[in-house]
Amino acid sequence: MNQKGHEKKIEKPDDESESYGRSWRLTVEANNARPWRIVPDNCYNHLQNYMSGGQYQLDLNLVVQHILSYAHEIPLAADGMDAWILDVDDTCISNIDYYKGRRFGCDPFDSAIFKAWIMKGKCPANPAVLELFNALIKKGFKVFLLTGRDQATLAQITTNNLRNQGFIGYQRLILRSAQYKGQSAVRYKSAIRKEIEGEGYRIRGNVGDQWSDLQGECLGNRTFKLPNPMYFIS
Amino acid sequence: MNQKGHEKKIEKPDDESESYGRSWRLTVEANNARPWRIVPDNCYNHLQNYMSGGQYQLDLNLVVQHILSYAHEIPLAADGMDAWILDVDDTCISNIDYYKGRRFGCDPFDSAIFKAWIMKGKCPANPAVLELFNALIKKGFKVFLLTGRDQATLAQITTNNLRNQGFIGYQRLILRSAQYKGQSAVRYKSAIRKEIEGEGYRIRGNVGDQWSDLQGECLGNRTFKLPNPMYFIS
């Protein structure tokens, strides 16, 4: 009970942390805070509500609606060379269950725990992105899945995970091979997209949860940023 | 009263429109919806709360904090050629009062009413951006104000408005001259930035509320997107 007895105390600190969480999320999604390493501790409650309370999925749904509107208007050529790039982690499949255990990014990234999580091969599909994936393939796009995951150690588990989540019929899954180790995501992914274009493909769309998926060279005709307030990859 | 009598009815439609408004705002700020012409009608309540309830100013404040952190780390050369670009409308000064009368963008843009608003010369400063402006000048940046406003008809009123709102000491205010009429903002602003660089200036930072302020050529070392859910300029 506060000093005024019967009056309900206004939870000012909570309000402030909710407002700050909103501001913080907006500024990272518009890429104003780059590079950032960890979610500020006072964003935890906001992020927990955001990621687990439904708004994150609604936000994904709306971006996917915009992507589908755009994709359906593209006239595909008869040569079968209209391509699309999708990122994997927190685009096709979700690591929210790992990040729940890291307070949605307020605790530092732990590579051993993360690898153990990945090796289970149980990352669930992002339902909205699975719907997008299937629609793209149905329309006739050649879908390339491009991930920074290590090829030597994670190729098989990633292939299996994508299959058990329904990602079937893509053109190619590209993981980070030894020659790209230590490079930034922008550089590595640019090089791969350049190779894909070098094979004659026309990249019509490019979707990822990181700005580094959507910057650099050979970006494609249009890029789409999916929400991800939990971590930043440069 | 609902079927169960005493239980509080859950305001589902309002919840849905609030959730949708949040999703919509996130997707436009991350530039996934481009180009868009008008705010969806069911975002009105959300935008009214967002623009008038304080969150918009908090969001601006946080971006400006990030900009100031970045700006303060830049070592300025002795030649006085370190430059900064700021947009004018809804960056330095605010048109919220006009947009209040257009239901925050849910009503279509009206060029006659907008021009009448501008001609009053009473657009208030965005306080956070005025603070940024003064800090940049104090540090020694040459600040260029770059606007799509028409030079022939709006140069004097814009100069006066900026002065009456405290924007004093900038290097140059650049409005759209006849040769750039009808060009997209990206093309016009790229050409001007190229001219500025051609004079020997190094553009260290570039701040605007529109993605078209922050795309194209000669963008500067780093760009920052301020929130603006009310309109989109391509």
Q: Which of A232, A234, A15, A231 is nearest to A106 (CA)?
A: A231
Element (H, E) at A198: helix A185-198
The predicted structure's pLDDT at residue A217: 97
> Where are the alpha helices (H) located in B166-205, listed in sequence order?
185-198
Q: Do A58 and B19 touch (CB under 8 A)?
A: yes
pLDDT band of A83, cuts 50, 70, 90:
very high
pLDDT of residue B211: 98
Residues of chain B with pLDDT under 50: 1-13
**Paired tokens of B59:** 């969001």
Partners of B26 on chain A (C-beta within 8 Å) are 25-26, 29, 59, 62, 227
Which band of pLDDT confidence, cut at 50, 70 and 90, is reported for residue A15? confident
Q: Do A227 and B24 touch (CB under 8 A)?
A: no
Q: Let me know: does A147 contact A158? Beta carbons within 8 Å.
A: yes
User: Rounded to an integer, what distance in angstroms lies between the CA atom of residue A33 and that of residue A172?
Assistant: 33
Q: What angle do CA B30, A70, B50 make, to 5 degrees?
A: 30
**A21 interaction partners in chain B (CB closer than 8 Å):** none
Q: Give me the phi and psi of B208, to 5 degrees please.
A: -155, 170
pLDDT class of A200 with cuts at 50, 70, 90: very high
**Interchain proximity B55–A24, CB inside 8 Å:** no
Which CATH superfamily, name and number, covers B54-225? HAD superfamily/HAD-like (3.40.50.1000)
The SS3 of residue B125 is strand
A70 within 8 A of A222, measured Cβ to Cβ: yes
Give the angle subtended at the CA of A54 by the CAs of B25 and A22, to the nearest 5°.
45
Residue A43 has pLDDT above 70, yes or no: yes
Q: Is residue A1 pLDDT above 50, yes or no?
A: no
ipTM attached to this prediction: 0.91
Q: Which residue of A has its CA nearest to B209?
A: A30
- A227 and B61 within 8 Å at the Cβ level: the answer is no
- In this prediction, residue B14 carries a pLDDT of 61
Helix (H, G, I), strand (E, B) or coil at B45: helix
- Kindly list the residues from chain B whose CB atom is less than 8 angstroms away from the CB atom of residue A227: 26, 30
Question: Which residues in chain A have Cβ-Cβ distances shorter than 8 Å to B20?
Answer: 58, 62
User: Does the structure show a pLDDT above 80 at A4?
Assistant: no
| Subunit contact B62:A227, Cβ cutoff 8 A | no
**How do B223-225 and B202-208 pair as beta strands?**
parallel
Give the per-residue pLDDT at A14: 62
Domain range annotation of chain A: 56-225
SS3 annotation, B59-98: HHHHHHHHHHHHHHCCCCCCCCCEEEEEECECCCECCHHH
**Residues in chain A within 8 Å Cβ distance of B42:** none
DSSP characters over A18-66? HHHHHHHHHHHHTT-S-S--S--GGGHHHHHHHHHSSHHHHHHHHHHHH
Q: What tens digit of pLDDT does each residue of A145-198 get?
A: 999 999 999 999 999 999 999 999 999 999 999 999 999 999 999 999 999 999
Q: Quick check: B225 and A63 CB within 8 A?
A: no
Query: Are B32 and A227 inside 8 Å of each other by CB?
Result: no
Paired strand residues for A205: A84
Sign of CA dihedral A98, A102, A103, A105: negative
Is B26's CB within 8 Å of A224's CB?
no
Quote the pLDDT of residue B15. 85
Question: Is residue A59 predicted with pLDDT exceeding 90?
Answer: yes
Facing residue for A23 by CB, picked from B30, B32, B62: B62
Closest residue in B to A33 (Cα) is: B66
Superfamily of domain A56-225: HAD superfamily/HAD-like (3.40.50.1000)
Chain B residue numbers touching A15 (CB-CB < 8 A): none
Torsion of CA A89, A93, A96, A99, to 10 degrees: -30
Q: What is the pLDDT of residues A157-169, one digit of tens each?
A: 999 999 999 999 9
